[in-house]
Structure 1
Amino acid sequence: MADVPEADWRRPTALPGWSVHDVVAHIIGTEAMLAGTPTPETGVDVAALEHVRNPIAELNEHWIISLRDESAPAMLTRYREVIAQRKAALPKLPTAEWNAVTATPAGPDSYGRFMRIRNFDCWIHEQDIRQALGRPSSDEELSGPAGRLALDEIAASMGFVVGKLGKAPDGSRVAIELTGPLARTIRVAVDGRAAVVEEFDAEPTAVIRLDGLQFTRLCGGRPLCETRPDTIEFDGDAQVGQRVVDNLNYVI
């Protein structure tokens, strides 16, 4: 971002109502809150904004509004300062605090899970920024540790997506085969309750095959991007496969 012209910070992203500047403000604000900084009061009824749909989004929007007039250099300074603060604090947390249950965007879970969600959030927003600026991640960048960890977080939610949202029937074995730099296979077995499994005990009943980055975009409610293959293929029960794809958008 250091070499991005000021005007390009105002480019719209695929996220309704958010520019590149707004996405960076969201990241700054979230990390600042986690460091103990109170959410700024803006006097704006953010709940009335069309793209604000839940209490977490309301908090995000207050940060975005409060930083909207900041210049690109000022934003970079804020970002570097809060990230340095968080990078210094996290390694000092004792194991008990990493394992302690806390509120997360996915419901009560460990602080460690919360930090995995934070990695996912930052990574997917990096892709939002890159797509808006026409600077997509290289294959090497996509296959790096941040991308793999982000995909771990997404994969953990696929039981809910396949069973609850996609309504795969009991006995289904749904394989989501991701291609490209983020290649992996996510397997969900429905045996009373849908769950992610390492292996199936029989052939999959439905296979969904698509590029890994495109998969993350669908899970995050983003449109498919132009920089990766956009073909989605089905084997087996295509109706179940299509229903799962239609309901991949689970991120709040």
Structure 2
Amino acid sequence: MHDLPDRPELVALLSEQFEVLTDLVTGLGEDEWRTPSPLPGWTVFDVIGHIIGTESLLLGEKPPARDAQTPDIDVKTLPHVRNEIGALNEIWLQRLRSRTGDELLRLYRGVADRRRKALAELDDQAWLAPTQSPVGEVPYARFMRVRLFDCWMHELDIADALGRQVEEGGARGEVAFAEFARSLPRVIVKRGKAPAGSLITLRLTGPLARTLHIEVGDRASYVTAPDREATAALQLDSGLLVRLGGGRVDPGTVLDRIGFQGDTDLGRQLARNLAFTI
């Protein structure tokens, strides 16, 4: 779960993810592009615009100039903007929202093609180079796994907004979930307040089915074969866990979709405090 990803495999998965997103939004009508997504303040259009902005920045490109007819909004005043990364995301969206959906899709395809080319040209030194990312300074390889996770999550956002079903498992889902799962021990302790000495078990069903055991000692960490019963165990669909971790759903509305064993009060406390992504 913690090893750096293989370069050819991850580059291929990122390329595939770019194409899956293209297919998901190709043919949308203008009203569909403006469908609200699970992300506060963002439509389907904005989700793709956000990906354009991030991948463009990775290419060294700046946001387009502001349309003179577009109001100049202080993005830091928007209620869903909580940090500098969020502000930068909104600058890109403010500069793109005057486009049509078809224009945005053409921009996205162009950025995706340039990113594919840039990724294909990376050498081993660049792949391992320390790089600033949303999770701190990490090797570029880890940053690209974060990018796969982000784009995979946004695939789910768009699908949920449009009422469509997409494949949540498979190779892309496995690698994206590996990145997601790195944060769960910290979240269980910092947000969920799991007490020292506790053992938390997550039994996942669905496309990314697996059982995860998290032991809370001086720090929380995964264990493969615990020698005791879980203090609290939660059973839920893998897609629901990801959406809770991403802050995409209100925990209070989905507790009836989670099974609790052991200390059920602790289990419900954990379920209510899983959100950690930006």
TM-score, normalised via structure 2 length: 0.84
Query: Shift of the alpha carbon at 1:249?
Result: 0.3
Matched, 1:6 2:30: yes
Change beyond 3 A, Cα 1:177–1:41: farther
**Counterpart mapping for 1:204-219 below 5 A:** 204-219=230-245
Unaligned runs of 5+ in 2: 1-24, 67-71
Residue of 218, 229, 235 corresponding to 1:192? 218
Matched, 1:149 2:175: yes
1:182 counterpart SS class: coil
**Structure 2 residue aligned with 1:175:** 201
1:76-110 deviation digits (Å, cap 9, x = unpaired):
11111111111111132222222222211112222
Q: Take 2:164 and 2:173, find their aligned partners in 1: how far apart are those partners? A: 16
2:39 maps to amino acid: L
Percent identity between matched residues is: 45
Q: Take 1:241 and 1:41, find their aligned partners in 2: how far apart are those partners? A: 49
Paired residues, number: 247
**Structure 2 residue aligned with 1:220:** 246
1:50 maps to amino acid: P
**Counterpart mapping for 1:25-174 below 5 A:** 25-40=49-64, 42=66, 43-137=72-166, 141-174=167-200
Segment of structure 1 superposing worse, 158-167 or 195-204: 195-204
Equivalent residues of 1:40, 1:62 under 8 A apart: no
2:207 maps to amino acid: P
Q: Take 1:3 and 1:230, find their aligned partners in 2: how far apart are those partners? A: 36
Change beyond 3 A, Cα 1:195–1:134: same
Query: Shift of the alpha carbon at 1:39?
Result: 3.5
TM-score, normalised via structure 1 length: 0.92
2:105 counterpart SS class: helix
1:192 maps to amino acid: D
1:158-183 deviation digits (Å, cap 9, x = unpaired):
11011222121122111111111121
Q: Take 1:224 and 1:134, find their aligned partners in 2: how far apart are those partners? A: 18
1:184-232 deviation digits (Å, cap 9, x = unpaired):
222211121111233323332221111111111100111169xx99611
Structure number with greater CO (CA < 8 Å, separation at least 6) is 2
Matched, 1:237 2:266: no
Note the aligned Cα RMSD (angstroms).
1.9
Query: Shift of the alpha carbon at 1:60?
Result: 0.5
Q: Take 1:229 and 1:213, find their aligned partners in 2: how far apart are those partners? A: 14
Q: Take 2:195 and 2:52, find their aligned partners in 1: how far apart are those partners? A: 42
Q: Take 2:96 and 2:203, find their aligned partners in 1: how far apart are those partners? A: 40
Equivalent residues of 1:224, 1:230 under 8 A apart: no
1:79 maps to amino acid: Y
1:63 maps to amino acid: W
Equivalent residues of 2:169, 2:208 under 8 A apart: yes
1:102 counterpart SS class: strand
